[in-house]
Structure 1
Amino acid sequence: MRRVRLTVTGRVQGVYFRASTEQRARRLGLTGWVRNLPDGSVEVEAQGAEQDVAALIDWCHEGPAYARVDDVDACDIDVTDDRRFEVR
């Protein structure tokens, strides 16, 4: 089990990034959340099997069609007892 916190920068707000991330995470069976930050970036916490978390990180480097991802900063954090994935 792995949990990560991601900060995604670029043109990632107003381009369906949060909803697309939620859809992708749920398809991968991950728990956690995604939210916009005041500086224009998107923050994601995702937890699940190592390979599924890695797949979400890879996807975040591309994002949805209208996004332009400049960088994805990832760090491992402590596992929690989340039950689902949500947009905040």
Structure 2
Amino acid sequence: MNEDARLVVWVRGRVQQVGFRWFTRANALEIGGLRGFALNLDDGRVQVVAEGPRENCHRLLDWLGSDDTPGRVDGVTEIWDTPRGGYEGFAIR
């Protein structure tokens, strides 16, 4: 059940200019085994793409929707897919 997965998340709320991408990267690195990125979108959301063990993706998703994030998360939308690869580590874009 712990095969690799691709998780794409859009986080709504006050999630820009609060260190959200930095903390997302730090959390992904702490969880371990995740590659991808966090990106500010023009509409105020943050997009997070993570690839790695499904269980680790779930841990990152749980954190993204928790009260432990910087700023204020009003909602999280996620899509699960098969990994595409091509990421060196976990980047802030």
User: Is TM more than 0.5 here?
Assistant: yes
How do 1:1-88 and structure 2 match up within 5 A? Answer: 1-29=4-32, 30-62=34-66, 63-65=68-70, 67-81=71-85, 82-88=87-93
Q: Per-residue displacement from partner, 1:16-62 (whole Å, max 9, x unpaired)? A: 10000000011112100000000100000001111110000000012
RMSD: 1.1
Q: Once structures 1 and 2 are overlaid, which stretch shifts more, 78-87 or 44-53?
A: 78-87
Percent identical residues? 36
Return the letter of the residue paired with 1:86. Answer: A
Unaligned runs of 5+ in 2: none
Q: Which 4+ stretches in 1 moved above 3 angstroms?
A: none
Q: Which runs of 5+ in 1 are unaligned?
A: none
User: TM-score under structure 2 normalisation?
Assistant: 0.87
Q: Separation in 2 of the partners of 1:56 and 1:46?
A: 8
Q: How far apart are the structure 2 equivalents of 1:50 and 1:64?
A: 21
Counterparts of 1:23 and 1:77, CA distance in 2: 23
